[in-house]
Amino acid sequence: MQAAPPPEPPTTIVVTAEALPDPAAERAFAVETIGAERLRNAATTQLDQLLKEVPGLQLFRRSDSRSAHPTSQGVTLRALGGNASSRALLILDGVPQADPFGGWVNWPAYDPASLGEVRVVRGGGSVSAGPGALAGVIEMTSRLHDGFSAEAQAGSREAFEGRVLAGVPLGGGTATLSARAGRGEGFVPITAGTRAAIDETAGYEEASVRGHWSAPLSDGLDVQLGGLGFTDRRERGVPFTGNRTDGADASVRLVGRGRLQWSVLGYGQWRELESSFASVNDDRSAANRVLLQDSVPSHAYGGSFELRPHLGDAVELRIGGDARKTQGETRERFFFVEGEPTRRRRAGGETLTSGLFAEATVRAGALTLTGGARLDRWRISDGEISERVIATGEQLRDESFKNRSGWRPTARAGAVYELGPGLSLRSAAYLGWRLPTLNELFRPFRAGADATAANALLDPERLAGIEAGALYSRGGLTLSATAFANHLTDAIANVTLGQGPGLFPGVGFVGPGGDYRQRQNLDAVRVRGVEASAEWRRGPLSLGGGISLTEAEVRAKGAAAPLDGLRPAQTTRVGLTGRVGWESGGRALSLVARHVGGQFEDDLNQRLLPSATTFDAFGAWPLGRRFELVARAENLLDETVVAGIGGGGAVERATPRTLWIGLRFGPDRER
């Protein structure tokens, strides 16, 4: 378990939009907290890249959110990857953030500087967060800002980024508005040795605005209103591969802080994706559009409640429940002939999950015991796939899938024992589950020459895990280590079933060099591993680092038997991070090193992405009482980080060296 970092300097007061205090039960689990100053003074302004400093946290692809396709941006922990849907649950002020249709995360929607903190709870079975937290929970909390701050920076490849954060007293509370926008010409994703005439830069434009108001309605009763809007446009470095995502969220939360603590939350989410896909010939001299998702509308509605009756200082009881409904479909044009689509597809459906939970934590001297459980009802309904000839309206495919439903339990239990000043031992066990996304159930897709069929009969994923760890925190030193074992049953993966050229069910023709896959439930994925981290602070100097070592293995039979004993796609055995920082008198310097071991691009373990080590740097220097000069460097040594290998041998890379210089305006430091 990683303790929260030491308190920030007395001159910095960060107020967050908390509902209820962090539950006592989480002392038994591996938790890492990223505070406001670390979020603000990071070498990157992309939240997805900043989170990679947490040992064991991984995105599906190595590319960052400015260059990767948005549908490949799922987040997971502890080597439980394998497909693009998130297996860790991302939450903002209590609201789940995964895309309602596909389960990926729209990272450009979140500005790290507008967050008060991010807490990463590793390990499944979170009874209060709801289904989907197989690998853990990432909790983002809004920062309630009093005053005005702004930043503008220019970067490599004609990039520009700006942000403002403003807060004013309103209704006895604080209203905060944050806005962020950025653009860049981008880099050529394909490496110099494998690119050709067709390859071009992958530009991007992104913007987001978020508002939050928190105020007391009466003594012991608070209201919190939140709203979010964002837009994200990216190119992928080849003609006909542009995409766009727009989204909006709204939420309201009431919090009671009397003798009976309670909270009630309601929210709505709306997303719209448009994306084009292309095939490239063998010598990469020409590209042709093969599919256009001209509209992928989706939305989710949900709510939750929690009660914490006062039972004395030694006992914490939590009782609550939640529900979430998602609806969405993809509207596509495909089978292009001479640049024009000849067929149209619609595919989608609806899911609903709802459940109740209870969790109790008891402290008896040096020993803390916790246990909780929940029971959920799930339902998949109105699933359908329809395909027509555009010119004639002829129906080529019209499938409606039988509604399905069931019950799933979630549970966790843990113990913490204080051995002495600053030293504790802990252990935990948990059960969790995740419902397949609408994308996994109903939408076939193509990536380059490869094609993957959907599977409307997918079962929910189920996880059982155990872990044990130790924590030492005293003075400026914090050390933690955790050993864990997870067993993921019915893991959803894209399973290779054939190679082109040829016609295949659910996707049609696959050309030479392309693979045919289908989403299937594997028997299991078994993961064993160790995580460790350390942090030391003395005066203005800080040192920190972490390591994640995992062994992950697929268990499969039947059509997926060739995967038995292999490592899940896109999972690495080793991850290392290191950080050194210095802050004094408004000046700040930091250097972050990250190493990721080799991992396989594909389920058959044939395309190896080699290991890579990168360095990022940050510096801030005051210019008077309100202004600061800031500089950032991403991938300082310009390491080639291989992010993908195409069927024709083309190698895709993650972001090369990117340098930024900017100016930041903030509160008067001498007031």
| 384: CATH | 2.40.170.20
**Percentage, residues of the chain above pLDDT 70:** 96
The per-residue pLDDT for 247 is 96
Q: 161 is in which domain, residue-wise? A: 15-665
User: Is the pLDDT at 330 greater than 90, yes or no?
Assistant: yes
Q: Which of the four pLDDT bands, split at 50, 70 and 90, describes residue 502? A: confident
3 in any annotated domain? no
Mean pLDDT of the chain: 91
479 in any annotated domain? yes
At 42-53, the pLDDT tens digits run 999 999 999 988
At 70-91, the pLDDT tens digits run 888 888 898 887 677 889 999 9
User: Is the pLDDT at 114 greater than 50, yes or no?
Assistant: yes
7 in any annotated domain? no
Token digits of residue 668: 């008067």
The per-residue pLDDT for 517 is 87
The per-residue pLDDT for 671 is 59
Of 400 and 560, the one with more pLDDT: 400
* pTM over the 0.85 mark: yes
b/e per residue 231-240 (b: at least 16 CB within 10 A): bbbbbbbbbb
Of 1 and 418, the one with more pLDDT: 418
2 in any annotated domain? no
The number of domains in the chain is 1
The per-residue pLDDT for 80 is 87
- CB–CB of 136/88 below 8 Å? yes
Q: Which of the four pLDDT bands, split at 50, 70 and 90, describes residue 179? A: very high
How many C-beta atoms surround the C-beta of residue 1 within 10 A?
A: 25
Rounded Cα distance, 247 and 348, in Å: 18
Average of per-residue pLDDT across 360-381:
95
Q: Which of the four pLDDT bands, split at 50, 70 and 90, describes residue 117? A: very high
The per-residue pLDDT for 155 is 96
Rounded Cα distance, 41 and 663, in Å: 13
Single out the residue of 463, 347, 457, 357 nearest to residue 406, CA to CA: 457
The per-residue pLDDT for 1 is 40
Q: Which of the four pLDDT bands, split at 50, 70 and 90, describes residue 276? A: very high
Rounded to the nearest 5 percent, the helix, strand and coil shares of the chain are 5, 60, 35
User: What counts of helices (H) and strands (E) characterise the chain?
Assistant: 3, 41
Q: Which of the four pLDDT bands, split at 50, 70 and 90, describes residue 15? A: low
Q: What is the DSSP letter of 285?
A: S
Average of per-residue pLDDT across 295-321:
95
User: Is the pLDDT at 119 greater than 70, yes or no?
Assistant: yes
Average of per-residue pLDDT across 480-502:
91
Average of per-residue pLDDT across 644-660:
89
- CB–CB of 54/225 below 8 Å? no
92 in any annotated domain? yes
Q: Of the ranges 87-91, 485-489, 603-607, which one carries the lowest mean pLDDT score?
A: 603-607
User: Is the pLDDT at 2 greater than 90, yes or no?
Assistant: no
The per-residue pLDDT for 3 is 45
User: Is the pLDDT at 187 greater than 70, yes or no?
Assistant: yes
The residue written with tokens 């400015």 in the block is: 66
If residue 631 lies in a helix (H) or strand (E), which one and from where to where? strand 627-634
The per-residue pLDDT for 649 is 82
The per-residue pLDDT for 220 is 87
The per-residue pLDDT for 85 is 84
Q: Of the ranges 120-124, 416-420, 433-437, 617-621, which one carries the lowest mean pLDDT score?
A: 120-124
Q: Which of the four pLDDT bands, split at 50, 70 and 90, describes residue 548? A: very high
User: Is the pLDDT at 317 greater than 90, yes or no?
Assistant: yes
Of 235 and 447, the one with more pLDDT: 235
6 in any annotated domain? no
Average of per-residue pLDDT across 193-204:
92
Enumerate residues 6+ apart whose C-beta is below 8 A from 511. Answer: 279, 449, 500, 501
User: Is the pLDDT at 14 greater than 80, yes or no?
Assistant: no
The per-residue pLDDT for 171 is 86
**Percentage, residues of the chain above pLDDT 90:** 67
Single out the residue of 630, 544, 616, 617 nearest to residue 587, CA to CA: 630
Rounded Cα distance, 152 and 375, in Å: 48
The per-residue pLDDT for 4 is 44
At 570-594, the pLDDT tens digits run 899 999 999 999 998 889 999 999 9
272 in any annotated domain? yes
User: Is the pLDDT at 95 greater than 50, yes or no?
Assistant: yes
The per-residue pLDDT for 647 is 66
380 in any annotated domain? yes
